[in-house]
Amino acid sequence: MKKKTSFMRALSAVVWKDLVAELRSRELVSAMLVFALLVIFIFNFSLELNAKTRNSVAPGVIWVTIVFAGTLGLNRSMSVEKDRGCLDGLLLAPVDRTAIYFGKSIANWVFMLIVAAIILPVYSILYNTNIISLSLILVIVLGSEGYVAVGTLLASMAVQARTRDILLPILLFPVIIPVLIAAVKASGGILAGLPFQDISSWIYLLLAYDVIFTSVAYMVFDSVVEE
């Protein structure tokens, strides 16, 4: 019980540190949000599409925006820790290192969901179509969790390299292809009004991906940061 309490305290401390630091600096979410809005505006003015075609490309546009903004956020969140010497301090702290991993993952997840919560209404306004629904939000939550679970682990590896800004996308994008395909397919089915039976396989794939890769990251994080 004492070990569990210590783990939760360490996890909550890491999450709280990241959220408070971002609230004070407003660097990470601001950069992600500016990038995401820029992508949406570019797609809006470059793709002169009718209403039906817009609905068909909506899942791809949304997830391209979320993934690239998320990659920018992952790079920034870990590089700031490294440049300020905070990462070494975290690793030297007498706590379970997996608490550090989950704390960073949850904070990055929160940042991604904040950006998604802003870009969905903006997309709906610019493209003159209402895409906001509980089902789509659920898919974004599941897809973002899988993305962050892998991304936080790989960002912890890439941050030690000089070419970390280039290395992270190279490592990350091939691994997240399954979750990205499942998220786009599920989002497309939801926006098309398909019944749950038609998209359930993609939802289950997202759940399986989240569970498997979160478990893998939990098991290997300590070894990764030791290197």
pLDDT digits (tens, 9 = 90+) for 80-128: 666 666 666 666 666 677 888 888 889 889 989 998 998 888 888 887 7
Which two three-digit tokens encode residue 20?
């408070």
Instruction: Report the distance separating Cα 146 and Cα 211, nearest Å.
Output: 8
Cα–Cα dist 127/123, whole Å: 6
Q: Which residue has the tokens 């997830």?
A: 63
Q: How far apart are CA 149 and CA 153, in angstroms?
A: 7
Question: Is the pLDDT at 49 greater than 70, yes or no?
Answer: no
Alpha-helical regions (H) of the chain: 2-25, 28-46, 51-83, 86-92, 97-126, 134-158, 164-175, 177-191, 196-226
- Name the average pLDDT for the chain: 82
For residues 10-26, give the mean pLDDT. 81
Q: What value, to the nearest 5°, has the Cα angle with vertex 66 and ends 185 and 32?
A: 180
Q: What pLDDT does residue 138 have?
A: 92
Contact predicate 93/102, CB 8 Å: no
Runs of H (alpha helix) within 127-195 = 134-158, 164-175, 177-191
pLDDT for 183 beyond 90: yes
Rounded Cα gap, residues 22 and 163, in angstroms: 24
Out of 26-30, 106-110, 176-180, 190-194, least confident range: 26-30
Q: Is the pTM of this model over 0.95?
A: no
Of the pLDDT bands very low, low, confident and very high (cuts 50, 70, 90), residue 225 is low
pLDDT at 6 over 80: no
Residue 71's contacts (CB-CB under 8 Å, 6 or more residues apart) are: 151, 168, 169, 172
Task: Return the domain boundaries, the chain.
Answer: 26-85+110-226
Q: How far apart are CA 97 and CA 218, in angstroms?
A: 9
Phi, psi of 76 (to 5 degrees): -65, -40
Taken in order 127, 131, 132, 137, the sign of the CA dihedral is negative
**pLDDT of amino acid 201:** 92
- What gap in Å lies between CA 202 and CA 164, rounded to an integer? 32
When comparing pLDDT for 43 and 69, which is higher? Answer: 69
pLDDT of residue 5: 59
Q: From the CB of residue 218, how many other CB atoms can be counted at a distance below 10 Å?
A: 15
Question: Does 3 have pLDDT greater than 60?
Answer: no
Among the listed ranges 6-15, 107-116, 135-144, 203-212, which one has the minimum average pLDDT value? 6-15
Query: Which CA distances in Å does 147 have to 48, 56, 83, 194, 217?
Result: 30, 23, 24, 25, 12
